[in-house]
Chains A and B, each alone.
Chain A
């Protein structure tokens, strides 16, 4: 399963300027992730989970050290190259869904494919497939404002998955969901992980999510405090 390292992080330090000084959010992180992992960054609030996900997602750059994603060194990438990396290989799921409010469900899911320049036929098929994975084919014309929180989160999952990216980065994907919705979504993701070999990296402190993880990377105060593989006990 970990035959190919698609993410490797060495001596990563991330600090933010605060007032006159610095605040170190990540301190000497060393991690690697292989293809098809279903891993989670866990830890208390403020431990640096989102910061690390953002760097892996090339939305932010390391202050020191190195982060390599799919062979590309984050921080040395130009804006354009980083955008291309995200566009082609990364899928994001945000805690706050971040659906585009004026688009329908269909258009939201279609959006990454438009950016990839897929033709109308390919788009249609991929969008319908993705909506089927998350069970939302009956709501394609709805606007995000007309959906429940769980439905929005499922649209966000479909949008992240529609282009079958190599890596999906999911920041607190279940924070606003009830237990049932959380399990539905996690099962969907698990299925996609095993069918498509998509790498999932979560940031979470939700116990429900932790149960599904195959690997738990614990962060504390910007440092990796524990990195453990979890024995699969047969979920769902």
Chain B
């Protein structure tokens, strides 16, 4: 109790110096939480986008479909099971390989046929509803940019139908949509399901059927195997995990900075306050008591910083979680796609764990330099002699 009282008195007595230290520490508190919040928010957003735009609640795959082996695509289609016909809960997708010739270049693409009126995925398939002679197609913005295609452009598409016959036609870009999900963008060309079935000679057939997010588990059907979203997100989750290793390194670096700040403060203050330490000892304090006071002072910095961070940081973090943070352009070249605006996501767990880790470690870090005190010779310390 005495140690706490004296530590408190020392801290408050030191006034501005204490508050500067506390402020710096509270900043690192906030940056650590904020940084985790951004990563969490980003992961969540990417996961939601992937589910909304690509995966749905799950997918029925045609038994021959293997997304890792494009050569199986020619066989990976079949008549859509009667239970899986297009409606609010099911969106059949036919996948076919094709080649396009944008601006004289050759580029192989996946044609994806989907019902324009579908409600399962949140991509603007309604643009595909058209009777034009040219095949109306829709592209993601990255795909469009890579192939220098704009809305209204024509591009020659060449494919091999169900009978193995090559055929070609002009496609017209009717829409370009922005998405953060690379799997529905890069190398993909969206067409109306009926149109694709027709040109492929695959009437009534599909490669997979995406289910709405109301259907997250289902039995396999003859020739159609159900994959729930957790299976489909496995790769995505692994990518996130890998990315999080990088995030963890960053987290550790930020924590390290906080430690260095505290350690530095402590070392300096023990050095600067030698005379005070000597005086304390001469007045009858044991070294243990002095060490306890210095350690508690360091730990109190952490506690005050947490309180301060909560006072000015909580509204800031909250505001940003609601308003989102706009990311600079071009950040999506870093492997995983980042959306334009990230909404940081903070959990109670994140805040509590961060607070605990910072408090416990700052206490330890505060303690380390105090070992100097026990080596101090009080008669030298009283004179404030530099050792």
Contacts and interface: CB of A to CB of B under 8 A. Distances in A.
A111 B383 contact: no
Interface string B367-382: 0000000000011001
Contact of A111 (B275, B278, B283, B289): B283
Interface string A94-125: 10101011110001000110111100000000
A138 to B, nearest CB: 21
A114 B5 contact: yes
B275 A98 contact: yes
Contacts of B378: 59-60
Given A54-B379, A59-B382, A101-B276, A115 B282 contact: no
A86 B9 contact: no
A79 B375 CA distance: 12
A87 B283 contact: yes
A111 B284 CA distance: 10
Interface string A51-95: 000100101100000000000000000011001101110101010
B284 A112 contact: yes
B283 A92 contact: yes
B13 A80 contact: no
Contacts of A92: 282-283
A19 B378 CA distance: 21
B6 A79 contact: no
B10 A86 contact: no
A56 to B, nearest CB: 12
A103 B281 contact: no
A115 B2 contact: yes
Contacts of B379: 54, 59-60
B287 interface: yes
Contact of B281 (A83, A107, A111, A114): A83
A87 B10 CA distance: 20
Nearest to A60: B379
A79 B376 CA distance: 12
B281 A59 contact: yes
B122 interface: no
B218 interface: no
A129 B200 CA distance: 105
Given A59-B378, A60-B379, A103-B13, A86 B279 contact: no
B14 interface: yes
A80 B284 contact: no
A205 B2 CA distance: 39
Contacts of B6: 114
Contacts of A116: 284
Contacts of A84: 284
A94 B284 CA distance: 15
A175 B56 CA distance: 86
A102 B287 CA distance: 20
Contact of A80 (B275, B279, B282, B286): B286
Contacts of A96: 275, 383-384
A98 B286 contact: no
Contacts of A90: 284
A112 B285 CA distance: 9
A117 B283 contact: no
Contacts of A102: 9-10, 13-15
Given A83-B285, A86-B283, A101-B276, 11 more contacts: A57-B282, A87-B285, A90-B284, A96-B384, A98-B276, A98-B278, A98-B279, A102-B10, A103-B9, A103-B13, A116-B284
23 contacts: A59-B281, A59-B379, A60-B379, A83-B281, A83-B286, A83-B287, A83-B289, A86-B281, A90-B284, A92-B282, A94-B382, A96-B275, A98-B275, A98-B276, A98-B382, A102-B10, A102-B14, A102-B15, A107-B9, A112-B283, A114-B5, A115-B2, A116-B284
